[in-house]
Amino acid sequence: MIEETNTDTTATRRAAELLWEHWRQGTHLDALPESIRPHTRAEGYAIQRAVQACSGKGLLGWKIAATSLPGQRHIGVDGPLAGRLLERRGFPSGAEVPLGGNLMRVAEPEFAFGFGRDLPPRAAPYGTDEVLEAVDRLHPAIEVPDSRYADFVHAGAPQLIADNACANDLVLGPAATVDWRGLDLVAHRVSAEVVGRYTRQGSGAAVLGDPRVALTWLVNELSAIGATLRAGEVVITGTCMASLEIEPGDEVRVDFGVLGSVSARFRA
């Protein structure tokens, strides 16, 4: 297990400061300089942790990127990536979300699992049932990702992890009021509309085959890097469909059926 407290180096701090400055200004870089560029997932996660420290913010929660094979192929990675969702980057359903500096310009309908108790690092992997026991709510959500790299498609997994796996903004709908634990989340249908332009359909099967499998992967990934998933945090498990292409002025509405709905408007 990698200890988060023992991974800080001068190169790590310099890489994090550079990424955070681009995040803060809404600008982009081609790649981290070779002298401070991460070459392993562990180095990427160390920079990711330092980016959060540079931000001075706590965590809203965590995200999983590249949960589908097409998504992994698109950015040239061989598996999912974990990222940190920063405080004050969350919005309620119906909010107006700034899009002006966003390079990716996509919206992604996702399941958001809220945790009622901590899951600390440990040697033994967590099982899905054990992870779900720590969950106390499920929200419909829209992730609005972005990257600090101008060419994020070719950045590679270590650099993408350092950049918080393209984390940016999150729109969180109200918690579901039905007994979601009894639902088949794999087959659960999700419908999205970019109002006046197009609609798209998806399901939980797009999320590593099952959102609960993706959630368990995230918990064990955090455990492996020495990070605690804490009560009050949320985990978004990956998009339920092909990303929705959006532009300033668009409104996105997503219907999760009995689990509720979530919407957002986007401005320049």
Alpha-carbon span 164 to 184, nearest angstrom: 30
Q: What is the pLDDT, as a whole number, of residue 66?
A: 87
> For residue 8, what pLDDT is reported?
61
Determine the pLDDT at residue 5: 41
Domain ranges of the chain: 58-267
Structure tokens belonging to residue 210: 């099952």
The encoded tokens of residue 188 equal 């659960």
Residue 1 — pLDDT band, cuts 50, 70, 90?
Answer: very low
In tens, the pLDDT along 170-191 reads 999 999 999 999 999 999 999 9
Contact residues for 151 (Cβ-Cβ < 8 A; gap 6+): 30, 31
- H helices of the chain, where? 10-25, 41-55, 69-75, 128-133, 157-162, 211-224
- Condensed to tens digits (0 to 9), the pLDDT of residues 127-136 reads 999 999 999 9
Alpha carbons 195 and 86: distance in angstroms, whole number: 28
Angstrom distance (rounded) from CA 55 to CA 17: 9
What is the CATH code of the structural domain delimited by 58-267? 3.90.850.10
7-11, 46-50, 92-96, 204-208 — which is least confidently predicted?
7-11
Arithmetic mean of pLDDT, 98-112: 95
What average pLDDT does this structure show over 199-223? 97
CA distance 142 to 91: 10
> What's the whole-number mean pLDDT along residues 225-234?
98
